[in-house]
């Protein structure tokens, strides 16, 4: 693997809210970044006017390059995989000419199985796990709103200490994206998954914000059942998360009283394929492997996919 410094070239696969935000922060601080996305109007606005970032950090236009044609791009050293989980394979294969044997991939996607999929395509040693407390949403083409300026974590999926991870975290921290090396990135990804098992489908099926979901009587009972099933599957997968730790994580999410709807809810509202297969569906699939039953998560998968069937039909 190569050395990573201020001359490294970075490609962002999936310039949605978070991909645009990460790429925009690094480009604003002087790194060479290209945002890859299929949304042509978004790409065009970024190239002609710059990426507009509002909210935390102030209102500004950031000069960063964007493209909807990765086959025309040169090689990059670092790839942020930030597309929707269902589109990972398509995005990686469509941009393969941008990668060399030394390119490193960092997945910041929702759910489980993303790193494994990238590893199948590009090799296990080239893939790192990522997780962030940052938040952003799309306001319009070429326009995002930043909600936080919090920590991002990166780590080797096997939990080993890693010089390249430390080097990458230092590079990103020096250029506007506060990052820390983690030797527990797999556990951290599971912890994020646990609260997403609850908040994502519950927001989707009710069309409510997180605050509204958990102000509704009975919501915590459903959430606890979903998380309990997830904990059993995590343990079977060798990831031990104490129930009280999972409860604390969910409590923090509830206490935040967020006014936003989940990305899964937004996907369904916009008649797009959601990431339910990589969140609740992934837990259901892993449970079957270990002979466990997850009836509440199965119910969530069925209900979300029934909604998708109204507009996706057999494509779902």
Residue 311 token pair: 């507009």
- Examine the residue annotation and report whether 192 is marked as an active-site residue of this protein: yes
Bridge partners for 310 per DSSP: none
Report the C-alpha gap between 52 and 49 in whole angstroms: 8
Q: In angstroms, rounded to a whole number, what is the distance separating the alpha carbons of residues 229 and 254?
A: 19
Active-site option among 84, 186, 192, 261: 192
Neighbours of 223 (CB within 10 A): 22
Nearest to residue 207, comparing CAs of 136, 307, 107, 313?
307
As given in the structure block, the two tokens for residue 80 are 């942020």
Q: How far apart are CA 243 and CA 246, in angstroms?
A: 5
The span from the CA of 44 to the CA of 37, in Å, is 11
What are the residue numbers of the active site? 192
């Amino acid at each position: 693997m190569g050395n990573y410094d201020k001359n490294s070239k970075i490609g962002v696969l999936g310039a949605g809210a978070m991909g645009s935000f990460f790429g925009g922060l690094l480009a604003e601080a002087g790194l060479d970044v290209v945002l890859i996305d299929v949304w042509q109007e978004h790409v065009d606005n970024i190239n002609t006017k710059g990426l507009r970032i509002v909210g935390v950090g102030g209102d500004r236009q950031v000069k960063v390059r964007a493209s909807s044609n990765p086959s025309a791009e040169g090689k990059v050293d670092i790839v942020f995989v930030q597309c929707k989980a269902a589109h990972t394979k398509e995005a990686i294969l469509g941009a393969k000419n941008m990668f060399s044997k030394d390119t490193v991939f960092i997945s910041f996607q929702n759910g489980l199985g993303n790193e494994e999929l990238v590893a199948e395509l590009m090799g296990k040693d080239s893939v790192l796990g990522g997780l962030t407390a940052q938040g952003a949403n799309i306001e319009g083409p070429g326009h995002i709103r930043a909600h936080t300026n919090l920590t991002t974590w990166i780590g080797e999926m096997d939990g080993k200490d890693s010089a390249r991870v430390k080097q990458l975290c230092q590079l990103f921290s020096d250029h506007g994206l506060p990052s820390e090396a983690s030797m527990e990135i797999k556990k951290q990804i599971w912890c994020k998954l646990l609260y997403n098992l609850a908040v994502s489908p519950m927001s989707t099926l009710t069309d409510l914000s997180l605050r509204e979901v958990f102000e509704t009587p009975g919501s915590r009972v459903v959430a606890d059942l979903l998380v309990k099933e997830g904990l059993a599957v995590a343990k079977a997968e060798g990831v031990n998360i104490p129930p009280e730790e999972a409860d604390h994580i969910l409590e923090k999410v509830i206490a935040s009283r967020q006014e936003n709807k989940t990305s899964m809810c937004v996907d369904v509202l916009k008649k797009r394929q959601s990431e339910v297969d990589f969140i609740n569906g992934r837990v259901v699939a892993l449970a079957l492997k270990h002979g466990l039953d997850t009836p509440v998560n199965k119910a969530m998968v069925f209900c979300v996919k029934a909604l998708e069937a109204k507009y996706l039909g057999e494509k779902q």
